[in-house]
Structure 1
Amino acid sequence: MRYDLAIIGGGLAGTATAYYAARAGARVILLERRDVNLGASGSNAGSIHAQIPFDPFRHLGADWARHYSEVLPLFIESIGLWAGLEDELGGDLGFVAKGGLMVAGSEHEMEMLREKSAIEQAQGLQIDLWDADDLAERAPFLTAGFPGGAFCPIEGKADPFRIAPLFLKRARAAGAALRRNAPVTAIAREPGGFAVTAGGETVHVARVVNAAGAHAAEVAQLVGVHVPIEAHAIQVCVTEKRPPLLPWLLYFTSEKLTLKQAIEGGFLIGGGWPARMRGGPVVDHRSVLRNLALAQRLVPGLGEVQIVRSWAAMVNGTPDWRPVLGEVPQVPGFFLNLFPWMGFTAGPAVSRAIAALALGQAPEVDLAPFSL
């Protein structure tokens, strides 16, 4: 059988692209080298982001932030989709969007937050600046003495174990085929499209979407394309269940931190702390201790909470943090769906747009600024 579209990668980007393309009537095959949702999509901390991350802002500056801020409309559009996905896909995704608070660790960092928030607001993102009194009144669970923070009301969380499998289920119901344990080893041009060899089988397709995350550079090399994407090993912890304490996604300007409390009561503690590589990514206890100390520095109530589980995973990044999206100019019919670091948030809207582009339709969001 000949397919309209082969999608490489069984994470959120790949399964969502397969869903939107199959729903539009395309003949779709999804190729996954292992099994669905085993990479970053199913191993991240489930944060729904919209604010520009503070760590690169500190190191790369305001000019970088203004350039990076072109992604913010994608986040806004995608969070809007997230809000309706449970109804659309017919399943519980653990999606909650009560807001995200970025706490300033010093007066200087508060001033930097003010500068960053102006850049975000220029792209249509609502940011409310809180002073120390606001923190004391609205966030009494925080350690006293921080000068303020930036609150974004559309941020939140979702369950990374659920989203890609549910997208896949609905894609298959719409006719999409799936090949598990099928690493792609060759992509050759042929009349009318490509011959893609995966897991010992060759399939013939009109177009290809590379949504392989941390392995996307290897896939792109099969068609002679260099993609500036890197693989990073990072880790996350989750605690025992506790009564409700933290209503929002919480960040900190002085160190890397994302902290949130799941609906069932466990705290997810992350922020991009490095794991070790030993054959694959493994948890580094040094990062665990520093991450937990930082979480307790912000929220003293975590002091007696026990860690239940820690895990490590590979995520993808680009040097400038920007995504690489759309058709590769020198290889017509070959598309990239690569969103570093924040791909869990952006995945629904970006994948819907990539599916439209790959089927020759006009996408609902502009991906042109992110072309390779």
Structure 2
Amino acid sequence: MTDVIVIGGGIIGCAAAYYLAGDGVAVTLVETGDLNTQASGTNSGSLHGQIPHDTYLQHGDAWARMFLPALRLLRSSIGLWEGLGDTLGVDLEVKVGGGLLLAANEQQMRDIARKVSLEREAGLDSEVLDAQGLRALAPYVSRRMVGAGYCPAEGKANPLIAAPAFARAAAAIGARIMPRTSVTDIRRTGGGYEVTTDRGTYTAARLVNTAGADAGRIAAMLGVDLPLQGFPIQVSVTEPVEPLIQHLLYYARAPLTMKQTAVGSIIVGGGWPARFDSQRRPIADPYSVGPNLGLALEILPQLAPVNIVRTWAATVNGTHDWMPVIGELPGLPGAFLGYVPWMGFTAGPAAGRLVASMVQGVAPPLDIDAAAFAPGVR
């Protein structure tokens, strides 16, 4: 017997199961494949805390102000990340060393300054660095860069470790974790929801959909049409090199993220498109590799002799407006959605905590405006 069924074994689902079990709720988590094999385990491990620059340039100030509640969710989640290793008893390789949005010309600096002013409205300690300030903070960056936006509350973690650590901790306190269990149908019943899987049928009073890129399909089983999509993107990783990058790096000219892992490898990403094969599996697109690495060399030319050892693709859930959707589905009492587009890895701990509290009808222990993420608000 279970009180809550969580569908989806990525970081939000595993976190929700952990927090529910910790609160004494009987919870069962089901996952189609193995845990953490989709976006939660195949992303590059960035912990984002600022307004995404490329999206800001596309949509402008009005969109950015709408996005400010999401910044508070990300900030709360990064706060959880910083103590999560001790909580779960695992080294998650968390490092919050700040993020730098680099600029190569004065127009890019003006764009950054506008964005930083909006971030400061949301309570972030973002600031604009001139060339001298950038050299003092990050002397390893190309001297072609004329300045940067600096957000101190950004960093990285190991995406291969985090969700499984949540799942193990959840199981240790009573959660039932069921990987390789595909949901084929969901029906409302007098007492809640009946979930049919390829391993049997399960009933619960409440249901949580944390299926990421598959969340739209799961919602459709309940008769809800949600504009939730999956997009193939790719990431490259280098051979290990000596310690070089101390920050999460972005580039104001075009999409780019860079960071260095605990073992010395440098991860180069930024959301460059991959593609789907004939079976809808994400595969790397060679036409994205060159431009992505070219941007990396503009800000770190000393990487020219370093070898790329792997490029991989993943399906990342996304929406047009980038806003999280977390809360009870309209007209479906007891059915909840926990969905964070594009930056679900960063938001995972806080989103899991938030939806676990909502399921229980209690205020979440987070300093955020939960109502901003309610399904159907926008």
TM-score, normalising length from structure 1?
0.98
- Residue 202 of structure 1 and its aligned partner are, at CA, apart by 0.5
8 Å contact 1:39–1:313 — kept in the other structure? yes
CA distance in 2, matches of 1:22, 1:199: 24
SS at match of 1:3: coil
Tell me the residue number matched to 1:124.
123
Tell me the residue number matched to 1:6.
5
Tell me the residue number matched to 1:237.
236
- Residue 132 of structure 1 and its aligned partner are, at CA, apart by 1.4
Q: Does 1:368 align with 2:371?
A: yes
8 Å contact 2:145–2:299 — kept in the other structure? no
Q: Does 1:294 align with 2:295?
A: yes
Amino acid at match of 2:206: R
Amino acid at match of 2:358: L
- Residue 364 of structure 1 and its aligned partner are, at CA, apart by 2.3
Q: Does 1:256 align with 2:259?
A: no
- Residue 137 of structure 1 and its aligned partner are, at CA, apart by 3.0
Amino acid at match of 1:292: L
Amino acid at match of 1:129: V
Superposed CA RMSD in Å reads 1.0
8 Å contact 1:181–1:199 — kept in the other structure? no
CA distance in 1, matches of 2:104, 2:340: 29
Tell me the residue number matched to 1:316.
317
**Unmatched tracts of structure 2, length 5 or more:** none
Runs of 4+ in structure 1 off by over 4 angstroms are: none
8 Å contact 1:141–1:300 — kept in the other structure? no
What per-residue deviation string (whole Å, max 9, x for no partner) do you get for residues 63-91 of structure 1? 10011111111111111110100000000
Tell me the residue number matched to 2:285.
284
TM-score, normalising length from structure 2?
0.96
**Unmatched tracts of structure 1, length 5 or more:** none
Q: Does 1:80 align with 2:85?
A: no
CA distance in 2, matches of 1:148, 1:223: 50
CA distance in 1, matches of 2:139, 2:23: 48
CA distance in 2, matches of 1:242, 1:228: 42
SS at match of 2:349: helix
Q: Does 1:163 align with 2:143?
A: no
What per-residue deviation string (whole Å, max 9, x for no partner) do you get for residues 291-318 of structure 1? 1111011101111111111110100001
CA distance in 2, matches of 1:370, 1:154: 22
CA distance in 1, matches of 2:178, 2:168: 14
Amino acid at match of 2:99: G
Number of residues of Structure 1 aligned to a counterpart in Structure 2: 371
- Residue 140 of structure 1 and its aligned partner are, at CA, apart by 2.1
CA distance in 1, matches of 2:153, 2:323: 21
Tell me the residue number matched to 2:59.
60
CA distance in 2, matches of 1:204, 1:231: 28
Q: Does 1:343 align with 2:349?
A: no
8 Å contact 1:10–1:37 — kept in the other structure? yes
- Residue 353 of structure 1 and its aligned partner are, at CA, apart by 1.1
- Residue 223 of structure 1 and its aligned partner are, at CA, apart by 0.4
